[in-house]
């Protein structure tokens, strides 16, 4: 939720990055009088330069996902083994 009475926002919906659908830029009050074209141009440059996350973050996310999947599989196997021993 955005708290504030009067904020100027530039929304970029056509990003060149496959990871982001849209980007919101909140304009500083001292630059509110700047033309909309200039603000949009500058916002587009920044959004286009965002790029993809570093490879190290992507690898870490994949590793964490794999570890979570393995932990869930082991937990399921443990529950199944415990139930089969009780029956």
Q: Which domain holds residue 75?
A: 53-87
pLDDT tens-digit map of 43-65: 888 887 776 666 666 677 888 88
Note the helical H segments in 6-54: 36-48
- Separation of alpha carbons 40 and 75, rounded Å: 51
Do residues 41 and 5 share a domain?
A: yes
Of the candidates 30, 34, 51, the one whose C-alpha atom is nearest the C-alpha of residue 42 is 34
Do residues 75 and 39 share a domain?
A: no
Note the helical H segments in 1-87: 36-48, 55-86
How many folded domains does the chain comprise? Answer: 2
Do residues 45 and 32 share a domain?
A: yes
Do residues 22 and 59 share a domain?
A: no
Do residues 57 and 46 share a domain?
A: no
Do residues 23 and 45 share a domain?
A: yes
Do residues 46 and 61 share a domain?
A: no
Q: What is the mean pLDDT of each run of 10 residues along the chain (87 residues)?
A: 68 79 86 86 81 68 89 92 88
pTM summary value: 0.48
């Amino acid at each position: 939720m955005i708290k504030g009475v009067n904020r100027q926002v530039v929304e970029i919906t056509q990003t060149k990055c496959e990871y982001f659908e849209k980007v919101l830029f909140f304009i500083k009050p001292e630059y509110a009088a700047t033309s909309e074209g200039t603000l949009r141009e500058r916002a587009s440059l920044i959004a286009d330069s965002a790029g993809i996350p570093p490879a190290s973050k992507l690898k870490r996310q994949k590793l964490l996902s794999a570890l979570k999947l393995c932990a869930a599989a082991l937990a399921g196997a443990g529950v199944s083994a415990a139930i089969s021993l009780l029956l």
